[in-house]
A and B are shown apart, each in its own frame.
Chain A
Amino acid sequence: MTIHADIDKIFKEGLADYSQKPPAFVWDNIEHTLNKKRIRMRRNLFYSLAASVALLISFGAGYLLTAFHTEQGVLVQHVKDEEPGLQNSEKEQVPALVVEPEQLKEAAVPNGIKMNEPVKSSVLPVLKPVKTTDVSVEPKKTESNIKKASTGGTLLPPMFSSGAEYSAYSPVEESKVNTEPIAMDGTSDLATLQAIPAIESRLIQPKADSRVLKYSLQSLAVYNDDYLIQNKKNENPWAVSLNASPLLSYRSVGESNADYVYAAEVTSNYEQEYKNEKPLMAYSVGVDVSYKMTGRWSVQSGVYYSEIGQRSDNVTVYDFQSFGSSDQSSYQVNTSVGNVRINGNTSELVNSSSSDGLIINIPVYTDGTETFVRSSGVEVDFVQVFSFYEIPMMVRYLLIDRKLSLNLSGGISTNILQGNKAYVIDDNKRQTLDGETETVKSMGYNGLLGFGIEYPLVSRLNFNLQPTFRYALSPMNDAGTVHPYSFGIYTGIKYSF
């Protein structure tokens, strides 16, 4: 008997439900790998959280310091009310620190203390402390009082209106504050209330310590701060800087995409894990303009030209035509970023990199209908370079505002692909290949994080040093698996207008 068989059907149906138990250690290996992935995920999460907390603490501490500084005027009032060392009776003996001229005009001044006529609003009254408990010139805890205490140029610190008056008070001991007469007599009334233009007092250094003076010190601090703030208001907030940096660039690779990497792996010895690939040293240069919004916060933007890339050592490439393609003049190499298709043939590589290249002779095969002509290959060191125009948008926070200032900055940048090149290394020199990495996106976004140091060189000109880390927020290739990152130490100069 003779029968005819459909071989495809025999195998398809014959194997459809076939099952074979794998060895137990396979699951052990899978479990081990999955556990490692879980641990890595948790660790990354922890690092991200830790970094976020550190940033929050830095910014928070800076903000609180700033807030404390600018609100000292208000604190003068609060400290007076809340001073635990003072009893009620003592509180009553503490003179008002801030008094409006109108109040002075109308105040019933006890125990013979006399005052001059109120002065003009542009000058300031100074009220001296007295010994009696009857002093009733209490400060009004009104908005206007508080406001005046914190606005510069209009209020002179009480009791420190001039060196002479301060001298009169400086020897007073704490124990005598409440018992010894310290007010001037009637003949000295003029000295008890004086008005001196604020500009004359400048920054006065107290030279005695007493409980009464404590409040005045705080008042003085307010004045000093106001003076400095007023000066800073005159600064131009704009600055321009020129920076350059070497960039060490590399990439993170996700899971390889089977549909994406197929072709060139056949034409090269590239490993799936891309172990041949190494970081590449490139560079970045650019100019940016910054605007100071407040004392510590500023924003900046600009234009940078940056190159990133990667190097692959000892890659064996074969002519693409080897696999029956009608394309007789190209070859390709698969990299983590994408396939690099190069016009020409590998013989050019052999000629160009004779010292590094290694010719691999492979016989010609024919299957009857087509010819496999992967006749030669060459081992090369291979470089991919991508250049971008970068437009960063960053926020900068001044951590330490000294001569040597420190700041933190963060933001994002938009990258526009400008160049996409491939090279081979020939005697330590790059030889440009006529080809490019396919499926690289023409636009992407980077996250930026930097820590900067500034030091003044001459007037308005500062030296900048800013280590910066950037990570591609959007994948670089169509397969969505590659995120380049780079680290650079930007140095440059900054000119403040």
Chain B
Amino acid sequence: MSDTLKELDDLIKECKKNRPDAQRKLYERFSGKMFAVCLQYSKDYTEAEDILQDGFIKVFTKISQFDFKGSFEGWVRRIMVNCALERYRKQNLLYTVGEIRDYDNKLAVDDVMGEISSKELLKLIGDLSPQYKMVFNLYAIEGYSHQEIGDMLGISVGTSKSNLSRARVILQEKVEKLYSERKQDVKLVVK
């Protein structure tokens, strides 16, 4: 076990004993990444702060359940996503859905990433409607299936699929536009 991992394990063990110093260190270690996750799922900065706060309180109160079998960061991330989902369920009951456009979801070139920053990507996701944002994040970033997403959000598999399609179209358009602004001579294709 590397020193870093051992150090993390020790920190978790201290947190399990409810030690305030250890809790602070753990927060400092993961808060940046988790705040990014929260921003990804929230409608604005304030909501992301609230999710982060609720999430870390849950992390510290449930940390005794962490059994060191998987990635701790993954465990914390799941808690943050769940907190975001809870908040979403409370606030978002229904969203207007526009027409679906055909698209090809298997286009693959990574060059785009060099031109668009993470912060800009985050903003593009943030501009999506709450349900599209949820479905896209859960499917594309977290890797859940449509069945799982349907269960989480209380929607059908078909709705989840159509929401994902629509979210992709919107994102592709925006990415294309942004990319085109940076690279005048290169065209990003979205069918």
Contacts and interface: CB of A to CB of B under 8 A. Distances in A.
A376 interface: no
Nearest to B155: A323
User: For chain B, what secondary structure do more than half of its interface residues adopt (helix, strand, loop), or is it mixed?
Assistant: helix
Q: Max chain B CB contacts within 10 Å: which of A8, A27, A255?
A: A8
B27 A30 contact: yes
Contacts of A2: 186-189
Chain A interface extent, by class: 35 or more
A11 B125 contact: yes
Contact of A324 (B61, B156, B172): B156
A29 B53 contact: yes
A6 B31 contact: no
B107 A18 contact: no
A138 interface: no
Contact of B156 (A14, A261, A264, A323): A323
B76 interface: no
Contact of A20 (B24, B39, B121): B39
Interface string A308-324: 00000000001000111
Interface string B56-97: 111011100000000000000000001101100110011011
Contacts of B121: 10-11, 14-15, 18
B108 A9 contact: yes
B113 A14 contact: yes
A367 B171 contact: no
B154 A6 contact: no
Interface in B120-156: 121-122, 125, 136, 139-141, 151-156
Given A3-B189, A26-B52, A34-B57, A20 B32 contact: yes
User: For chain A, what secondary structure do more than half of its interface residues adopt (helix, strand, loop), or is it mixed?
Assistant: mixed
26 contacts: A3-B188, A5-B107, A5-B175, A5-B176, A6-B108, A6-B109, A7-B140, A7-B175, A8-B139, A9-B108, A11-B125, A19-B36, A20-B39, A20-B119, A21-B35, A26-B49, A30-B57, A31-B23, A258-B82, A262-B152, A265-B154, A267-B154, A322-B94, A362-B94, A372-B97, A374-B93
Closest 6 CB pairs of A and B: A367-B97, A4-B107, A19-B32, A18-B118, A266-B154, A324-B156
Given A10-B121, A19-B35, A20-B39, 14 more contacts: A1-B185, A3-B186, A3-B187, A6-B107, A7-B107, A10-B116, A12-B141, A18-B33, A18-B121, A21-B32, A34-B20, A34-B60, A266-B93, A370-B162
Interface of B: 18, 20, 23-24, 27, 31-33, 35-36, 39-40, 48-49, 52-53, 56-58, 60-62, 82-83, 85-86, 89-90, 93-94, 96-100, 105-113, 116, 118-119, 121-122, 125, 136, 139-141, 151-156, 158-159, 162-163, 166, 168, 171-172, 175-176, 179, 185-190
